[in-house]
Structure 1
């Protein structure tokens, strides 16, 4: 496989002066009745014209001569190269690929929608020109394949797979690094450098989105309730210990159970509790 090699072209301004001199000499020979020399000088001068090229910033010219790769001109400015070479313009600017939303299954089989934004540029002009048929189309197809593979490698979240250390939803930085590395491996054949890769869209597929949202809400409620209960039990335990230490009141097991029940209702209830004054005893 061809690798890029830079070539140093001749100054276009120098060759322009040579062209002008040849034209002047050809006209002079014609006026001096030397037609053969005039024709030769004129043809030579006009053969120089196809060799003039202009290379703009962040552009390059890939040169081939009779099917052989000659080199790549990356130096900006006005130059002259072999007029018989084929000159192909190749942009070195950064491209931004906003991938379309793909519907795929995550690691545990849930259908999800995913899309990525990829910033890339041509690094090796020879590979981009000769290794693949169309390097832009190659980037598009390989990027889609990489995003699909990434989605299949990790679960959307850890609701079903609690052992998952990396998920698509929570591991954004790590997932982006993995995507960038996989794209680099896939696109290196075409001489493409991946500058950045990020997940731009991630969601459950519409057919399960509502059910999964309810499941997430239920999990959040359960987690919140668990935290409230743990806190309430801790408060009740502390209250009983302090009452016992201060000898404020002696409670038998039944009164302790009643007190615990009342405190848990107050601390765990969703609504404000209305106090009730007990004028009797627990036994009457």
Structure 2
């Protein structure tokens, strides 16, 4: 079983994928993926929103519990949704603890900044493992003005490096680096003793994470730093189309899909 401490001792790259339901979590876990992230990306990937901002504690709690029921070995990390942390420290800690107590998560992930250093420290102190997240932080889309690459100038890169060190010192057990230059991600990785997990951050991090919809080809669009390893959307379209045709032309349900109870033949 994967643990937060065990991630530090791995020699091979860490693998992480999102999942938002038990059947998907089972597939991901059976494939041997190390970490399953119940990401607030569910807003775009599963709930039909245009961003992650509308995702609620209830949304993440329910889906984290479902994922945890589908997982035997992977580390389950619940994403802290927008405004569930960073406002009041006590409330942030209670919300994070709720995911561990009520949804069986093993850890939480926080979109990080200067305001989350002490929150990370407090959560760690009370026994809540924290995965930090720097670079592109989608919950800040309105402040950033979009989903552009971060850390592309010297000042911004140095800020990310400093924040990475601060969150490691505060007790974070790992760090996600999203949509930053590969050379910046490599420098951050070299500077930390905790593992880094990249998404759109090049090959030199300690691991990689992607959204499951992008990996299996479920959505119509994937970000340029992702890769489609399958065509689940195409297969679903084919299967649904064949079902529709079979119902309309009378070939489904066939005899083998039905049961006749002889004792009911005298019903009127």
When normalised by structure 2's length, the TM-score is: 0.19
Flag the structure with larger Rg: 1
